[in-house]
Amino acid sequence: MWDHIYEQADRLKELLSDSQVNDFLKVYDSKHLKRIIFVASGSSINVTLIAKRFFEELCEIQVLCYTPFDFVGNSSIIKSFERDSTLVVAISQTGTSSGTVNSITYAKELGFKVLSITERRDTPVQQLGDYYLNFLCGLEPCNAKTKGVSSSLIILMLLAIHIGEDKAILTNEQFQAYMDEIAASIEDIPKTIEKTEKWIQGNKDWSKIKHFYVVGNGTNYGTAVEGMLKIMETLCIPASVCELGEFSHGFHRTINNNSNIITIYTEEYGSEAMVKTNDFLMEKAKRLLVVNATDKQLGNDHSIQVAKRPLTASCININVVFQVLAASLPEINGDDPNRPMNEELTRIVQTRV
């Protein structure tokens, strides 16, 4: 897991310089694209929740995010969508998710074009799609994905930025500003890893928690969901996630002096509410970690500072913080983050083809 975390900056630089997104848009006319339907599971669906904002804001495209079960079983509305202005984007890092395979088959039966995105070539997900993009991160044979998450996030961001340029919604200057910020965010990754590792050394008691919450909003609500999944699947403990605005609608009633909470603090809409929520949690919770992507300096004992990248809400490096936490905390307990745990369920329900 650590090798994948450490190498991702180099892999992401290669991805950023690659031409595959441009090549795709040479064969697919995005100028009339009005709607994207994302279909994915696990970390891949979480990444679409982050990317949703970029497509809606930069491309003026409606975005729907479905898990495979919901797409095949509970999406009758899509039958009314125009085929020529709708693109289904199916994401599976391994390319072998049975639900994603079934979803592609279903989408094509309905007459939709499908863009497949995977880490692995020559897989069912790649072969079934009409178009294809690769994570370009190399194989990642572990349960808790890291570099693949970052790669899929940046692929979707690049896709949104290029479509926005093609549709003349983004000016050349705006396009370049986003590209420059992504490049800067990739350069930030080694420092983010270092800061997170340093924080963990002073807060090893987090490895003993039995439950935790993650609270985020805006662009980084999807990051909160992904962060919860990442730590939950390596520490193998239950967890909860909540959107900031909804935290005071019931979740707050569960907070006590045994609660462990991670919040994501940016300068997006809702930042004032996050400040007040963090102040409340400092008094009420046992442990609070604020992943801070603002210019404000918070106490080192309860915060990890990442570089402020306003166009992307620092989502790339906030994800990296959760990756390092997920790899480190189990190891403090002497556990392999990717140790076998209830593996028989994936065989019982046939998660992979």
Judgement on whether residues 115 and 156 belong to the same structural domain of the protein: yes
pTM (whole model) above 0.75? yes
Q: Which of 71, 100, 142, 98 is nearest to 349 (CA)?
A: 98
pLDDT at 299 over 90: no
49 and 114, same domain (yes or no): yes
Residue 143 lies in a domain: yes
Q: What is the number of structural domains in the chain?
A: 2
Question: Do 124 and 233 share a domain, yes or no?
Answer: no
Range of the domain at 315: 191-333
CB 238 within 8 A of CB 211: yes
In this prediction, residue 131 has a pLDDT band, given cuts at 50, 70 and 90, of very high
Q: How far apart are CA 352 and CA 344, in angstroms?
A: 12
Whether 150 is in a domain gets the answer: yes
Residue 124 covered by a domain: yes
CATH of the domain at 222: 3.40.50.10490
C-alpha–C-alpha distance, residues 4 and 248, integer Å: 37
Question: Which residue from 47, 64, 75, 72 is spatially nearest to 157, judged by alpha carbons?
Answer: 47
pLDDT, tens digit, for every residue of 262-291?
999 999 999 999 999 999 999 999 999 999
pLDDT for 338: 95
